[in-house]
A = this chain, B = another copy of it.
């Protein structure tokens, strides 16, 4: 059973934006949290027979590959320097609005079809096991004829599996940048499953705890998970449309085979959304359960109080009567007055106990 933990929300509901109201579109301003990481560019260039990896130090080294059968994947971590992004963007002829969107990490997942490339925004999730907290990061993909650009804010991603497949030279090396883009999206979506699994486990632990021994902390944790599900839904829901329009897209950048793979990812996304909704419904049910268990326990407490009061108040009253100081109280002089009083008291309390028994109070 999970140990109660301090509820903590790492994700802000609404991100801060630096853009001045009324600024020109295409104004490059970084919207996000991490301001002091360097920009780190990794290039993997491959064709079916060979693969090379580079660590680029200069954005001027970023440009579409020269040889026609080479696919280049530029993996850019760190968005805090708008000038570098502009330089890269200009080299790949990205529209200023796309450059602005890459820097603004508070976007809905979306897809834009341009003449020479696709621009895709998608969220990468990381699960913090201690805090049961999801961290959200925005991945921007630009897919061209012979290159893929991937932009993200902080180092660390879920693409290691893809890199290994590239290095070990399988089908992925034969199939070009559209397949690479699919592989990246697929890795992101597979990672959603992993995170939902962990969330599902944590919520089932909470359910078990609630049925077994609810604590004061329980309701705060239900709230915490409801909040996480809200953010998760906001991050994943729009992906449905993105992938649906991607697999129906008629641009020349995607081949037919890729479209079939994308439909597969689309099915996974629908499945994930189903799971999110199921978890949300379950959490709503847990809150109902908590509220009714609180009422139920209050009922128990009140019954204890009422039984104590109902039994001892008459007894105390009887004792009070024979504690009165009237001169003329014949019972006080009786030989068996005291035991008779005690017996009468026992009778009273016995009767009341039977009455509560009959009303099924215990």
A contact set with B: CB distance below 8 Å: 7, 9, 12-17, 19-25, 97, 106-108, 110, 158-165, 170-172, 183, 186-187, 190-191, 193-194, 196-197, 199-201, 203-204, 207, 211, 216, 219-220, 223, 226-227, 230-231, 234, 238, 260-261, 264, 267, 270-271, 274-275, 278-279, 281-282, 285, 287-299, 301-306, 308-310, 312-317, 319-329, 331-338, 341-342, 361
Closest chain-B Cβ to A143's Cβ sits at a distance in Å of 17
The reply to whether B183 and A22 form a contact with Cβ atoms under 8 Å apart is yes
The reply to whether A200 and B12 form a contact with Cβ atoms under 8 Å apart is yes
Return the chain B residue nearest A298 by Cβ.
B299
The reply to whether B326 and A337 form a contact with Cβ atoms under 8 Å apart is yes
The reply to whether A294 and B301 form a contact with Cβ atoms under 8 Å apart is no
Q: Which 9 A-B pairs have the closest CB atoms?
A: A22-B161, A319-B320, A14-B200, A312-B313, A322-B324, A305-B306, A22-B187, A326-B338, A323-B323
The distance in angstroms between the C-alpha atoms of A149 and B187, with both chains bound, is: 30
| CB neighbours of A361 from chain B (8 A) | 301
Return the chain B residue nearest A203 by Cβ.
B13
**Which of B14, B278, B288 is close to A197, meaning CB atoms less than 8 Å apart?**
B14
Ordered by A's residue number, 30 sampled pairs between the chains whose C-beta atoms are within 8 Å are A13-B200, A13-B282, A14-B196, A21-B187, A21-B194, A22-B159, A22-B161, A106-B271, A108-B274, A219-B293, A220-B289, A287-B288, A294-B299, A298-B299, A299-B301, A301-B306, A301-B361, A304-B310, A305-B306, A308-B310, A312-B316, A315-B317, A319-B320, A319-B321, A322-B325, A324-B341, A326-B337, A326-B341, A328-B337, A329-B338
**Which of B19, B291, B323 is close to A291, meaning CB atoms less than 8 Å apart?**
B291
Return the chain B residue nearest A170 by Cβ.
B24
In the complex, besides A14-B201, A14-B275, 14 extra interface pairs with C-beta distance below 8 angstroms are A9-B207, A13-B278, A20-B161, A21-B194, A22-B162, A97-B260, A108-B271, A287-B292, A292-B294, A295-B298, A298-B302, A308-B310, A322-B325, A324-B325
| CB neighbours of A194 from chain B (8 A) | 17, 21
| CB neighbours of A327 from chain B (8 A) | 332-333, 337
The distance in angstroms between the C-alpha atoms of A97 and B261, with both chains bound, is: 8
The distance in angstroms between the C-alpha atoms of A285 and B225, with both chains bound, is: 11
Given known A-B contacts A13-B282, A312-B314, A165 and B197 have beta carbons under 8 A apart:
no
The reply to whether A25 and B282 form a contact with Cβ atoms under 8 Å apart is no
Closest chain-B Cβ to A200's Cβ sits at a distance in Å of 3
